[in-house]
Amino acid sequence: MMREIFKAKRGLHGEITIPGDKSISHRSIMISSLADTPVEVTNFLKGADCLSTIACMKAMGVDIEENGGKILVKGNGLHGLKEPASILDAGNSGTTLRLLMGLLSPQNFLTTFTGDSSLQQRPMGRVIKPLTMMGAKIVGRNQNKNLPITIIPAEQKLKGITYQMPVASAQVKSAIILAGLYADGVTAIVEPYPSRDHTEKMLTAFGTNIEKNGNEIKITPIDKLTAPQSIEVPGDISSAAYWIVLASILKDSDVIIKNVGINETRTGIIDVMRQMGAKIDFINERVSGGERSADIRVVYSELHGTTFGDEMIPRLIDEIPAIAVAAAFAEGDTVINNVGELRVKETDRLKSIVDEYNKIAAGAFEATEDSLIIHGVHDFTKAECKTFNDHRMAMSLAIFGAAAEGVVIDNPDCVNISYPTFYDTLFGDT
Ligand code: S3P
């Protein structure tokens, strides 16, 4: 199936409501499943990825009910997960798979995971290595690198380790933290740069002792979580990213994006867009469950190129396909360094950006093994582009086409992974 996105006739105006944060939605279900008392989750993202997490937790005996817009999770305690009757399917979701590998490594039952064709190609050795150091028994295809993966009950209690992570990855960090909850002794993780810290924040709200010292995180095992009665999931800044970029490059735009999570480990896009000359303001800042959120006002402005990399990358890793669109509308060159991780996302996003975006803006995008260079251009063509079934490629191409001369994309429904109402907002008044 193909979908045509037309050139926008005017700028973005009014208010946009975005769905709940994907990372926090996953964690709200997994961590609430380990509590002894029910937790009500509001503004949960009902995207395919988070529904994969719900299905996996239900398969392990957790009672999860949907009540209107709310999800009620009735966990059976920290030691209450049950052996699933069949293989767990993580679908397209790296977060479901990697975090659950950590959570299930200390359990006394066997689990096997599968996933879709994209997830089957993605590297799992990065999670298996530290978990194995803790004493977990995990086997996978291709010398334990890929799905399908089986977690065999460990002979002994896992042990706390000190682990220096080679790449900043919240999924790997979270897997180790979840395993560390059940370990013998303290587990320390050192990241090259801080990645998103939603697991740490949520576990702290559930009474766990997690210390953060620079790039080091220490987790002390616990016997029982003390759950809050409810968790309010803020809107997803990764979903807001499409409107932040579109409003910044579409003339006459002046829009307010409501209730966006602005956790420091996620706001790289705001910093970089401001660096490029974007006009972005936070209104109504508030805190809930340790997570900050705000309404974000974005007003059109002329952008210029910039250079960034290193510690900025984990703070905007999922927004690079959208930021690359903004860079195409900016004056001068933009250079994004240290982005090799993009090659192991839902698709090779560096290659996909260069191959597909250049169909809209010929010669504007170049990549090396781990960097992306964008030459600001002002000539665009209408093109037919491939999404590679990657939700963020689809949404970034859609806003690119809307701001340029239109675009036709394949597999448009892959946006359901993180943003089921994306086209309603794109084609609506705002
Ligand atoms: C996520 C972490 C990031 C991100 C992904 C969600 C998470 O992945 O790209 O979309 O929820 O922990 P990595 O940890 O592999 O960088």
- pLDDT tens by residue, 261-288: 999 999 999 999 999 999 999 999 999 8
> What is the C-alpha separation between 182 and 166, in angstroms, rounded?
24
DSSP 107: S
Band of the pLDDT at 3, cuts 50, 70, 90?
very high
Burial pattern 63-78, b for ≥16 Cβ within 10 A else e, equals ebeeeeeebebebbeb
For 99-112, what is the mean pLDDT? 98
94 Cα to the center of ligand 1, angstroms: 7
Q: Choose among 176, 23, 144, 41: nearest CA to 95.
A: 23
Task: Tokens 């996909």: give the residue.
Answer: 352
For 200-211, what is the mean pLDDT? 98
Both tokens of 400, joined, read: 């690119």
Ligand 1 atom nearest the C-alpha of 170 is: 14
For 81-106, what is the mean pLDDT? 98
Q: Is the CB of 265 under 6 A from ligand 1?
A: no
Which residue type does 192 have? Answer: P
96 Cα to the center of ligand 1, angstroms: 10
Strand partners, 70: 67
Please list, in sequence order, all residues whose beta carbon lies within 8 angstroms of the beta carbon of residue 313, skipping any fewer than 6 positions away: 168, 193, 268, 336, 338, 339, 341
Q: What is the mean pLDDT of the chain?
A: 97
Task: Tokens 């002894």: give the residue.
Answer: 36
- State yes or no: pLDDT of 429 exceeds 60: no
For 103-114, what is the mean pLDDT? 98
Q: For residue 49, what are the CA distances in angstroms to 104, 273, 366?
A: 18, 28, 30
Question: Are the beta carbons of 354 and 324 closer than 8 angstroms?
Answer: no
- 318 classed as catalytic: yes
Longest dimension (CA), the chain: 64
Q: Positive or negative CA dihedral for 155, 157, 162, 165?
A: positive
- pTM for the structure as a whole: 0.98
Q: Is the CB of 253 under 6 A from ligand 1?
A: no
Cα dihedral 388, 370, 246, 258 in deg (nearest 10): 90
Band of the pLDDT at 68, cuts 50, 70, 90?
confident
Share of the chain above pLDDT 70, in %: 100
Starting at the edge strand found earlier in the chain, the sheet holding 111-114 runs 88-89, 111-114, 146-152, 137-140
Band of the pLDDT at 289, cuts 50, 70, 90?
confident
Strand partners, 320: none
- Model pLDDT, residue 377: 81
Both tokens of 329, joined, read: 């509308």
- Model pLDDT, residue 117: 98
Phi-psi region of 251 (alpha: psi -120 to 50; beta: other; left: phi over 0): beta
Strand partners, 297: 256, 281
- State yes or no: pLDDT of 230 exceeds 80: yes
- pLDDT tens by residue, 117-148: 999 999 999 999 999 999 999 999 999 999 99
Band of the pLDDT at 430, cuts 50, 70, 90?
very low
Share of the chain above pLDDT 90, in %: 97
> What is the C-alpha separation between 293 and 276, in angstroms, rounded?
23
For 293-320, what is the mean pLDDT? 98
Band of the pLDDT at 428, cuts 50, 70, 90?
confident
Q: Is the CB of 171 under 6 A from ligand 1?
A: yes
Q: Is the CB of 200 under 6 A from ligand 1?
A: no
Ligand 1 atom nearest the C-alpha of 344 is: 15
Q: Is the CB of 318 under 6 A from ligand 1?
A: yes
Q: For residue 148, what are the CA distances in angstroms to 325, 338, 346?
A: 35, 30, 17
Considering 21, 295, 318, 390, which one is annotated as catalytic? 318
Query: Taking the chain, what is the end-to-end CA distance rounded to the nearest angstrom?
Result: 25
3-state SS class at 128: helix
Ligand 1 atom nearest the C-alpha of 199 is: 12
- pLDDT tens by residue, 363-403: 999 999 999 999 998 799 999 999 999 999 999 999 999 99
